[in-house]
Amino acid sequence: MMTTETCGCSLRPLELDGSIYCGLGFSCDNDCILCVANNGEKHENMSTSAMISYFDRIIENKNLTIQISGGEPTVRNDFLYLMEYLSLKAPLITKVLLSNGRKFSNMDFTAKVAVYPPVCVLVPIHSCEPKLHDTITRRVGSFNETVLGIRNMIEYKITVIPKIIVNKLNYKLLPEFVEFVAQTFPECGAVGIDTMDLLGAAGVNKEVLKIKHIDSAPYIEKAIDVAVKYGLHVSVIYMPFCLVEEKYRKFISPDQSIVMYKDPRDERLKGNLTKERGTVDACGKCKYVGECPGTWYSYFREFGYDELKPIYD
């Protein structure tokens, strides 16, 4: 394991462009059955000094978005300090927070985050039905805390985007979910729909969770219709273009070129990165190759490529 010293400022600063995914640790106050970060192994969180050393290596980057995640980043005792440090030392770096939102149910905590807020907070709600959400998180009461957390963020003018991760338990409720977001959090103005990466706990529980894109696509299209009706910006993550009707393809986000890693010790930061999603050879000479994001390679490993229908005209 790399020590704090070897991760420190004596190393050459990292020159990065685009977007990186930075996990602050593996601890979480949920235990989601679809968490890709939970692979059953026990990992210690990075120390405060190690995180600061890493941040010092990226301070000079001007065109960088850092997605701060975990586990659940807000459960760290030093979370507020790390957010303040990154905001003051690297003001040109765009911070996006991925959080389950539960800590924001505490108004005092929300007020402190609002002093150095991220550009936005992405919060998964696994269903508009509280019982199903709590079943997926394996934490009774988590739905109510997440909803309250989003309301508190809205109160403190923190930009928050609710999102849902599509799986067998919730895919038929996608239109109702978007309706719920539009009615409950109209101030958000946006909603996300993510396809599921079948890694970690999601891989362990895949027989309960996995759903083919071709089966979920009609419900995603209906959910987009609801978002459009309410004037919500909607983004669908990693759904192949060929599996939705043409008019819905503009709502599918392009590949965001995120460097994926779990924490700053990851040796993949030095090169030879493993790409975790995209198009495949079966896409052939489809006219959308290079524009279509494809989907997770873990999905292709599970279901193969038979669904894909390359578009040539």
Mean pLDDT of 11-25: 68
Q: How many residues does the chain have?
A: 313
Share of the chain above pLDDT 90, in %: 69
Q: 73-129, pLDDT tens digit by residue?
A: 999 999 999 999 999 998 888 999 999 999 999 999 999 999 999 999 999 999 999
The more confidently predicted of residues 7 and 53 is 53
Q: Supply the pTM of this predicted model.
A: 0.89
- Chain mean pLDDT for the chain: 87
**pLDDT of 131 above 70:** yes
Assigned fold of 5-277: TIM Barrel (3.20.20)
Q: Where are the alpha helices (DSSP H) in 17-93?
A: 48-58, 79-89
Segment 253-270 shows an average pLDDT of 51
pLDDT tens digits, 168-222: 999 999 999 999 999 999 999 999 999 999 999 999 999 999 999 999 999 999 9
- Locate tokens 């269903």: which residue? 127
The fraction of the chain above a pLDDT of 70, given in percent, is: 86
Look up residue 74 and give its two tokens: 């807000």
Give the pLDDT band of residue 14 (cuts 50, 70, 90).
low
Which token pair is 177?
């979910």
Beta pairing class for 18-23 and 64-69: parallel
Cα Rg, the chain, nearest whole Å: 19
The two structure tokens encoding residue 52: 């600061």
pLDDT at 39: 63
Could you tell me which residues come within 8 angstroms of residue 110 by beta carbon, excluding any fewer than 6 positions away?
104, 149, 152, 153, 155, 156, 158
264-285 pLDDT, tens digit each: 444 444 443 456 889 999 998 8
- Span 237-254, average pLDDT: 95
223 contact partners, CB below 8 Å, separation of at least 6: 174, 175, 177, 178, 193, 234
Q: Which two tokens stand for residue 193?
A: 């729909």
Higher pLDDT, residue 149 or 13: 149
Q: Is the pLDDT of residue 16 over 60?
A: no
Give the residue-averaged pLDDT of 53-73: 85
Q: Is residue 43 predicted with pLDDT exceeding 80?
A: no
Which position has the token pair 């701060």?
68
**pLDDT band of 59, cuts 50, 70, 90:** confident
